[in-house]
């Protein structure tokens, strides 16, 4: 019997001790999911949507409780936890109001008397989710996947086990049948075995590139569909005509929200030289004004990183870049799991803070000669989750959309997920899409139906 603890990264206090699920426990949960598959798939879409509306209401009712739990388990600033839960409720409302249309049969004109595409659920879907947005990452998978008629098993990150179990209880309290959504307290070995089980029809993972390769390899070997949302080192491109007075707050938010622990955060700031000095001055002043401290206090913007080893890893990336010539304008101080907001200049394309994902409050600033140079630098990445461009010349921005090889391109705003829009990456940032119509159709059988009378 294996036990593990969840710890508060701000004060190192143990939040709770858990017993890891045994192989027998995991199989029991899988069998429960399989036993309810047919009856859940047969539930009318209107009734599924009503249950999802219940989830949205409960999320709002419990947002303070859930925000505090996230703060305790992974150090998220409490006020940002409130916003996360509100966003989860928004996603549930979106699918509750739109799922029936999104899943409707698609009529196709052919030689048949009637032909169409139906959208049937696949069955039991396994989700492997990270700790940085403990509720949002799960809800944006679960809301469309369950509403499409699938059942779900969740393997959440161990340091947010309390959040994982709270989400399972949330669906039960909303009226979902037992077995529809279950949480697993499982290790990686058990998950590999589970993917190989015939009862699992597909797997989705949000996490690191390393984890994605492992999960995709196991899924592919067993002919299971997979959706991967992996890391990013998003570019924030600042052309010489950008309105910094209007957008500097957005640029700082794009890097520093959630203490910088976001796959879609702006990590490389690529600034045209004509505006570079002014940008650096304003950006540095704004970052300096961010309040660090106890993540439970409502005015805290920068809390702690989720674990001390993550802060150590981030500091190594920074120090290795400094050895290669990067200059520290601000920060690079660590105290346990706290890592101060950090700004680096003289960053070149061979440095870790340019090439790798920096999963914490570090902004790498790169000077570009002109607009074309900025786009070329931004595109130089193995990753492809999203890019953002700030400019008054939106016509020129429209002209270079195809030059941005990422899953998202935002102009004069930060890259963000929105239930109404598909979300996902290219290259080493993964494949498949979450949210919107594309998200709810990822785990359905798009069945061709052809009828002659």
Eight-class DSSP state of 291? P
Same domain, 446 and 344: no
Give me the tens of pLDDT residue by residue for the chain, a chain 453 residues long.
Answer: 899 999 999 999 999 999 999 999 999 999 999 999 999 999 999 999 999 999 999 999 999 999 999 999 999 999 999 999 999 999 999 999 999 999 999 999 999 999 999 999 999 999 999 999 999 999 999 999 999 999 999 999 999 999 999 999 999 999 999 999 999 999 888 999 999 999 999 999 999 999 999 999 999 999 999 999 999 999 999 999 999 999 999 999 999 999 999 999 999 999 999 999 999 999 999 999 999 999 999 999 999 999 999 999 999 999 999 999 999 999 999 999 999 999 999 999 999 999 999 999 999 999 999 999 999 999 999 999 999 999 999 999 999 999 999 999 999 999 999 999 999 999 999 999 999 999 999 999 999 999 999
Q: Structurally, how many domains does the chain consist of?
A: 2
Same domain, 71 and 184: yes
Distance, in Å, from the CA atom of 81 to the CA atom of 71, rounded to the nearest integer, reads: 7
Distances (CA, A) of 232 to 262, 328, 383, 429: 9, 23, 6, 6
Same domain, 67 and 119: yes
> So what's the pLDDT on residue 187?
87
Distance, in Å, from the CA atom of 374 to the CA atom of 387, rounded to the nearest integer, reads: 12
Other C-beta atoms closer than 10 Å to the C-beta of 75 total 25
Same domain, 255 and 281: yes
Distance, in Å, from the CA atom of 69 to the CA atom of 111, rounded to the nearest integer, reads: 57
Residue 423 lies in a domain: no
Q: Which of 314, 252, 260 is nearest to 289 (CA)?
A: 252
Record the tokens describing residue 4, joined without a space. 């593990």
- Which residues lie across from 17 on neighbouring strands? 5
Same domain, 161 and 238: no
Same domain, 154 and 138: yes
Q: What is the CATH number of the domain that holds 130?
A: 3.40.605.10
Residues in the chain: 453
Residue 130 phi, psi dihedral angles, 5° rounding: -95, 180
297 in Cβ contact with 285 (< 8 Å): no
Same domain, 128 and 261: no
Same domain, 242 and 109: no
Same domain, 157 and 264: no
Eight-class DSSP state of 434? B
Q: How many CA atoms lie within 13 A of 252 on its CB side?
A: 24
> So what's the pLDDT on residue 89?
98
Kindly report the pTM of this predicted structure.
0.97
147 in Cβ contact with 49 (< 8 Å): yes
Helix (H) or strand (E) holding 170: helix 161-173
Same domain, 433 and 376: no
Residues 6+ apart with CB under 8 A from 189: none
Q: How many CA atoms lie within 13 A of 188 on its CB side?
A: 7
Residue 29 lies in a domain: yes
Residue 424 lies in a domain: no
Q: Which domain holds residue 297?
A: 234-418
Same domain, 85 and 71: yes
Catalytic positions, written as ranges: 229
End-to-end CA distance of the chain, in Å? 61
């Amino acid at each position: 019997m294996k036990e593990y603890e969840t710890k508060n990264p701000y004060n190192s206090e143990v939040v709770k001790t858990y017993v890891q699920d045994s192989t027998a426990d995991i199989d029991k949960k899988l069998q429960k999911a399989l036993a309810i598959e047919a009856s859940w798939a047969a539930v009318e879409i209107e009734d599924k949507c009503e249950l999802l509306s219940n989830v949205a209401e409960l999320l709002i009712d419990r947002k303070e409780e859930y925000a505090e739990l996230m703060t305790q388990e992974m150090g998220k600033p409490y006020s940002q936890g409130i916003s996360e839960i509100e966003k989860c409720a928004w996603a549930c409302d979106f699918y509750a109001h739109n799922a029936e249309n999104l899943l409707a049969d698609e009529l196709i004109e052919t030689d048949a008397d009637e032909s169409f595409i139906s959208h049937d659920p696949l069955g039991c879907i396994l989700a492997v989710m990270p700790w940085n947005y403990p509720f949002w990452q799960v809800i944006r998978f679960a809301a469309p996947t369950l509403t499409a008629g699938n059942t779900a098993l969740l393997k959440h990150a161990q340091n947010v086990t309390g959040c994982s179990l709270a989400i399972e209880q949330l669906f039960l309290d909303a009226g979902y049948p037992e077995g529809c959504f279950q949480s697993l307290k499982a290790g990686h070995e058990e998950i590999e075995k589970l993917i190989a089980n015939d009862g699992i029809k597909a797997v989705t993972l949000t996490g690191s590139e390393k984890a994605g390769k492992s999960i995709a390899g196991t899924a592919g070997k067993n002919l299971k569909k997979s959706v991967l949302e992996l890391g990013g080192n998003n570019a924030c491109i600042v052309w010489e005509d950008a309105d910094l007075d209007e957008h500097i707050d957005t640029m700082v938010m794009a890097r520093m929200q959630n203490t910088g622990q976001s796959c879609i955060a702006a990590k490389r700031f690529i600034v045209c030289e004509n505006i570079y000095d002014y940008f650096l001055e304003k950006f540095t002043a704004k970052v300096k004004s961010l309040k660090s401290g106890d993540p439970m206090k409502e005015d805290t913007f920068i809390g702690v990183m989720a674990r001390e080893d993550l802060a150590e890893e981030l500091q190594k990336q920074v120090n290795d870049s400094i050895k290669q010539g990067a200059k520290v304008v601000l920060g690079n101080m660590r105290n346990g799991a706290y890592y101060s907001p950090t700004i680096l200049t003289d960053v070149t394309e061979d440095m870790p803070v340019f090439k790798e994902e920096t999963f914490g409050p570090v902004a790498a600033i790169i000077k570009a000669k002109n607009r074309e140079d900025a786009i070329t630098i931004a595109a130089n990445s193995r990753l492809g989750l999203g890019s953002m461009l700030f400019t008054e010349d939106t016509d020129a921005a429209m002209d270079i959309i195809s030059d941005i090889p990422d899953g998202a391109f935002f102009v004069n705003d930060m890259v963000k997920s929105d239930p109404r829009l598909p979300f996902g990456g290219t290259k080493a940032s993964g494949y498949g899409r979450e949210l919107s119509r594309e998200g709810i159709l990822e785990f359905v059988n798009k069945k061709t139906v052809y009828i002659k009378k």
